[in-house]
């Protein structure tokens, strides 16, 4: 998405709130640095692969129903399919419940994706912190999420709007800014990884690096996605250049 369009959307959002005499809350003065901006190199720590054989990576959650009583937990295991189970509960380290989902994988040019797991965890209580564990043995990893409050006319809820994130040093400052904001959810307005700037196998590799890059937020806060034009993958050039 063009950043001007994004600014217009943001501006109209703020204005429409003023029109309706709604409390639009606080708008941050944070301004992302100007283009150009370099992609962070793949060996940077922000893309670090978690330790342990087949450890879950790129962990992310999204809202799993219309009410806020469910989440979908997704992750990638790199070496073998592994388990598609989520163990969860309201006490850290004590996982009373288990949900099981499904696994998929794909190929793009010569890139073979890892094993992508999706698990619906539903029937949850509102406004409750849940802890969850995925992966097995020494490679297991633990996270948490908080369900939103029960829907009502004046229920406070703080969310961030992010678009055009990418994986540059500016992307990192935007992500860190969101994480310090105290918001609970991201509405993502499209153009996630900018992996479409790459060709051949590097497209998949840059999707994976982006998944690891955002995990420190997406494993804990539901990000609610819409697709942008940079989500369209073209077949790589098949001719020798």
Q: Of the listed pieces 34-42, 68-76, 99-107, 137-145, which binds ligand NAG according to CB under 6 A?
A: 99-107
Q: Which two tokens stand for residue 175?
A: 């992500």
Q: Shortest gap between Cβ of 110 and ligand NAG (angstroms)?
A: 11
> What x-and-dash track marks residues 104-133 binding ligand NAG by CB under 6 A?
-xxx----x---------------------
Residue 52 and residue 131 in contact, taking contact as beta carbons nearer than 8 Å: no
DSSP run (H or E) holding 146: strand 141-146
Measured from the CB atom, the residue of 79 and 122 that comes closer to ligand NAG is 79
How far the first Cα of the chain sits from its last, in Å, is: 29
Measured from the CB atom, the residue of 115 and 132 that comes closer to ligand NAG is 115
Q: Of the listed pieces 88-96, 102-110, 124-132, 215-223, which binds ligand NAG according to CB under 6 A?
A: 102-110
Minimal CA–CA distance to 189: which of 159, 152, 158? 159
Measured from the CB atom, the residue of 103 and 120 that comes closer to ligand NAG is 103
Measured from the CB atom, the residue of 57 and 170 that comes closer to ligand NAG is 57
3 state DSSP class of 40 = coil
Instruction: State the residue for tokens 């893309």.
Output: 47
| Residues contacting residue 66 through CB under 8 Å, at least 6 positions apart | none
Q: Determine the residue with CB nearest ligand NAG.
A: 105
Q: Shortest gap between Cβ of 231 and ligand NAG (angstroms)?
A: 19
Cα 130 to Cα 53, 55, 58, 124, 127, distances in angstroms: 26, 21, 19, 9, 10
Residues that bind ligand NAG (CB under 6 A): 105-107, 112
């Amino acid at each position: 998405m063009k950043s001007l369009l994004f600014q217009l959307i943001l501006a109209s959002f703020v204005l429409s709130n003023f029109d309706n005499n709604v409390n639009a809350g606080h708008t941050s003065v944070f301004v992302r640095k100007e283009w150009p901006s370099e992609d962070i190199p793949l060996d940077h720590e922000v893309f670090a692969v978690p330790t342990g054989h087949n450890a879950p990576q790129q962990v992310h959650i999204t809202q799993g129903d219309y009410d806020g009583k469910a989440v979908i937990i997704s992750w990638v295991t790199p070496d073998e399919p592994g388990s598609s189970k989520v163990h969860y509960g309201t006490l850290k380290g004590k996982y009373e419940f288990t949900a099981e989902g499904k696994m998929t994988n794909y190929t793009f040019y010569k890139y073979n994706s890892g094993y992508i797991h999706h698990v619906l965890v539903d029937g949850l209580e509102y406004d409750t912190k849940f802890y969850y564990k995925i992966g097995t043995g020494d490679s297991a990893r633990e996270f948490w999420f908080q369900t939103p409050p029960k829907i009502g006319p004046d229920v406070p809820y703080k969310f961030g709007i992010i678009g055009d994130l990418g994986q540059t040093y500016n992307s990192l400052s935007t992500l860190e800014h969101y994480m310090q904001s105290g918001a609970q959810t991201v509405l993502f307005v499209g153009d996630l990884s900018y992996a479409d700037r790459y060709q051949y196998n590097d497209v998949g590799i840059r999707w994976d690096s982006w998944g690891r890059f955002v995990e420190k937020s997406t494993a804990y806060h539901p990000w609610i996605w819409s697709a942008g034009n940079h989500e369209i993958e073209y077949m790589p050039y098949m001719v020798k250049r």
